Amino acid sequence: EAQVTQNPRYLITVTGKKLTVTCSQNMNHEYMSWYRQDPGLGLRQIYYSMNVEVTDKGDVPEGYKVSRKEKRNFPLILESPSPNQTSLYFCASSSGFLEQFFGPGTRLTVL
């Protein structure tokens, strides 16, 4: 089954404690992306990757890092999380302009 998986699905952490949210897709897609969703602000892109070792900033990259060492994986790294990064995070993948597949989401709370 074609899918995008994210882990963990829920996470409560404290300010400053480094964390990684993993994203994996099984469709051999070149393109992967991270979004965050906040009430009243909608979905905003954090980072994206056009292919292995090719990443670039989206609209709200501050406080986040990503890496793309393998085609299937695109982890989102928060080196020093802060409360304003409390959000619902989605990973997505696609082959070009065709439909994007989204993961189930990771709900992060930073205390």
Partner 1 sequence: DAKTTQPPSMDCAEGRAANLPCNHSTISGNEYVYWYRQIHSQGPQYIIHGLKNNETNEMASLIITEDRKSSTLILPHATLRDTAVYYCIVRTTRNSGGSNYKLTFGKGTLLTVNP
- Sequence-separated (6 or more) residues with CB below 8 Å from residue 9: 104, 105, 106, 107
Cβ proximity to partner 1, 24 vs 33, nearer residue: 33
Query: Which is nearer to partner 1, 42 or 62 (by Cβ)?
Result: 42
Minimum distance of partner 1 from residue 33's CB (angstroms): 7
Which of 48, 42, 34, 55 lies closest to 103 in space, CA to CA? 34
Q: Least distance to partner 1 from the beta carbon of 97, Å?
A: 4
> d(Cα 81, Cα 68) in Å, to the nearest integer?
21
For partner 1, the binding residues (CB under 8 A) are: 4, 31, 33, 42-43, 45, 48, 50, 56, 58, 88, 90, 92, 94, 96-97, 99-105, 107
Output the smallest distance, CB 66 to partner 1, in A.
14
